[in-house]
Structure 1
Amino acid sequence: MRGMANSDTLSQLRLRHYRLLQAISQYGQLSVAADMLSMTQPAASRMLAEIERLVGEPLFRRHPKGMQATASGEVLARRAGWILSGIDEAEAELAAVREGRRGSVRVGAVTGAAVAHVVPAIQALTPEARAAEVHLEVGPSGRLMTGLDAGEFDFTLCRVPSQTDSQMFEILRGHEEDVRFLVRVGHPLLDRGPLTIRDLDGYGWVIMAPGTPLRQGVEDAWLSAGIAPPREILNSASLLVSMAHIRTSDAIAPVAREVGDLICGTGRGAFVELPVTPGLLLSPYHLIRHRSRPISPLAERLLTLVMDGMAKP
């Protein structure tokens, strides 16, 4: 026979060839390898002869107890194992992607929605999709809608700015945002009992920038109560900045109810909600996806979990 074949010759080998090489190497018997591959022994013998013809040299030595790979046969059998293992892994990964158990998903959300709905949905997704890569960006609605339009997110939970062409998007579900007022433990207002908006006048604030729904909601509440909106304001969208500021001052931080519950529950007793009545409701945020842009099965699965969570009372 000729010497070892070049790569052009080896490229003629097919998966069925590699499966037979691996099986013969593993079991050492042509008849057993044929059975494992649901072939007849004559068919397996003809296929092996075809492989050796393509390669240009014998790949197995026949002896009374079975078959033993030659040096070249060991190389091809080992490579066959790698190739077939890679294909099996690719098939498993493809199935995981198709079933929404693998891949990546990008979500944008306003702070309250991220805490209330996206994080619980991610936690519910994790046990069934441990290989999933989830990206969550928290920000203002304008930034999130721009990102959704540009394809940066699979879906968002935010408000739709007035200048947005809403026909481009599918609005799946809405949720009102209930505001809480956070202060440090020992704040002077905590000794006053039930409070109204007017009782909060005269204190400093840490709050989002003008034009954001939370800022607009607070200012409207002040105007409705017949008082001027707060003037001593630290403008910041950062929760860490808000917590740092109110912990060492008498400032007040309005936040979404879910965010307030989280901070008060994990702040080691450093923060508390003011008992303000009536409460303050903001315009609802929505679960939004782009009408013309399909999303992956993983993103569909996470979106469904978010939607299910938003449907709960």
Structure 2
Amino acid sequence: MIPSLDSIFARLRLRQLRLLIELDRCGSLHKAAEAMAISQPGATKALREVEEILGVPLFVRQPSGLVANDAGRCVVRYARLIHSDLGHLRDEMLGIVQGQGGHLAVGSIMGAMPMLVGALGRLRRKQAQLSVEIAENTSANLLEQLDEGRLDLAICRPGVGRNTSDYVFMELAQEPLAVVAHPQHPLASAQALEIGDLSHYRWIVYPANMPMRQALERELNEAGVEVPRYPLETSSTFATFMLLEEDPTLVAVIPSAVAAFAEQRGLLVSLAVRLRALSEPFGVVHRVGSPLSHAAQLLVEELLTP
């Protein structure tokens, strides 16, 4: 039987939560104890105490080491959120004492990165001592990092998450798409193209089931063109640029804002193929019940300012 909230609050200690995080990371009581500078018997005792407080076992022993069970993964996720919130508390208090500063961890999908960089530039001119950690990834991975407390907020699509009601969403923009290639691609100078004209070229695509991949496959299907059988899959902007540089016959779909940035610098060209925007807009996302830090609130203001 799961104990009451008052019982958990009275008995559970922050150091015990830190042990659960280290156990999940290390998979070993010995390594977790080393990370926390405590003895292994002390770590074993602390784990037993947490399991007794919560009334359920949290880890199982497997050949690979200690592995969290379903209950353990749930507790570890909330332990990380609490750890992250305490980090925000310290950073915000430090900012108050020093008059400015703080730390901000923000994630972004590729297409929103130009918007994020612009907003961060404006914010850092006002808060010069602000420390910022930036992660670029898919919406699904960014939502996982939000759930684990690794990010303060993300600019992505909450629709790919397991439960959209877990998130606060503030819409920012639609995401037009562009077909791009190396400046020496055979079709680089063509004035008008249909997507079927690219059927003989190999594609660089986003991973399966991601919105940008689905948008490309929709366009190909509607044009009666076979979906690429052997694409190069990556969610990395840099990898996409490097692959186009290495093989000038490749083509890729990326957000128009990123394409414009790269085209201005001579890294690639946008081919004369019209694609529709993604059906779901992107925006600022953070978890329900996790108040934004002062620095995160300031960034949101910059993002929402026309």
2:96 maps to what in 1?
94
> SS of the residue aligned with 1:253?
strand
Residues 166, 93 of structure 1: CA spacing in aligned structure 2 closer, same or farther, 3 A cutoff? closer
Of 134, 140, 143 in structure 2, the residue corresponding to residue 142 of structure 1 is 140
2:276 maps to what in 1?
280
CA-to-partner distance for each residue in 1:153-206, whole Å, 9 max, x for gaps? 111111124452222211111421111111111321134321111112111111
Residues 230, 123 of structure 1: CA spacing in aligned structure 2 closer, same or farther, 3 A cutoff? same
Structure 1 distance, partners of 2:98, 2:170, is 26
1:74 maps to what in 2?
none
Quote the sequence identity (%).
23
Of 191, 197, 205 in structure 2, the residue corresponding to residue 199 of structure 1 is 197
Kept in 2, the 8 Å contact 1:182–1:253? The answer is: yes
Structure 2: runs of 5 or more not aligned: 1-92
Residue 241 (1) aligns with residue 239 (2): yes
Residues 305, 202 of structure 1: CA spacing in aligned structure 2 closer, same or farther, 3 A cutoff? same
Kept in 2, the 8 Å contact 1:287–1:307? The answer is: no
CA-to-partner distance for each residue in 1:16-46, whole Å, 9 max, x for gaps? xxxxxxxxxxxxxxxxxxxxxxxxxxxxxxx
> SS of the residue aligned with 1:112?
helix
Of 268, 271, 275 in structure 2, the residue corresponding to residue 271 of structure 1 is 268
Kept in 1, the 8 Å contact 2:190–2:272? The answer is: no
Kept in 2, the 8 Å contact 1:222–1:228? The answer is: yes
Kept in 1, the 8 Å contact 2:171–2:281? The answer is: no
| TM-score, with length taken from structure 1 | 0.63
Note the C-alpha offset of 1:256: 0.5
Residues paired across the two proteins, number: 212
Residues 253, 299 of structure 1: CA spacing in aligned structure 2 closer, same or farther, 3 A cutoff? same
2:299 maps to what in 1?
302
Residue 160 (1) aligns with residue 158 (2): yes
Of 120, 123, 131 in structure 2, the residue corresponding to residue 122 of structure 1 is 120
Structure 1: runs of 5 or more not aligned: 1-90
Note the C-alpha offset of 1:252: 0.3
Structure 1 segment 28-47 matched on structure 2, within 5 A: none
Note the C-alpha offset of 1:270: 4.2
Note the C-alpha offset of 1:95: 5.1
Residues 105, 93 of structure 1: CA spacing in aligned structure 2 closer, same or farther, 3 A cutoff? closer
Note the C-alpha offset of 1:293: 0.8
Note the C-alpha offset of 1:291: 2.0
1:47 maps to what in 2?
none
Kept in 2, the 8 Å contact 1:148–1:155? The answer is: yes
Kept in 2, the 8 Å contact 1:202–1:230? The answer is: no
Kept in 1, the 8 Å contact 2:206–2:213? The answer is: yes
Structure 1 distance, partners of 2:292, 2:122, is 19
Kept in 1, the 8 Å contact 2:205–2:213? The answer is: yes
> SS of the residue aligned with 2:187?
helix
> SS of the residue aligned with 2:229?
coil
Structure 2 distance, partners of 1:250, 1:192, is 14
* Amino acid corresponding to residue 94 of structure 1 in structure 2: I
Runs of 4+ in 1 over 6 A off after TM superposition: none
* Amino acid corresponding to residue 111 of structure 2 in structure 1: G
* Amino acid corresponding to residue 270 of structure 2 in structure 1: E
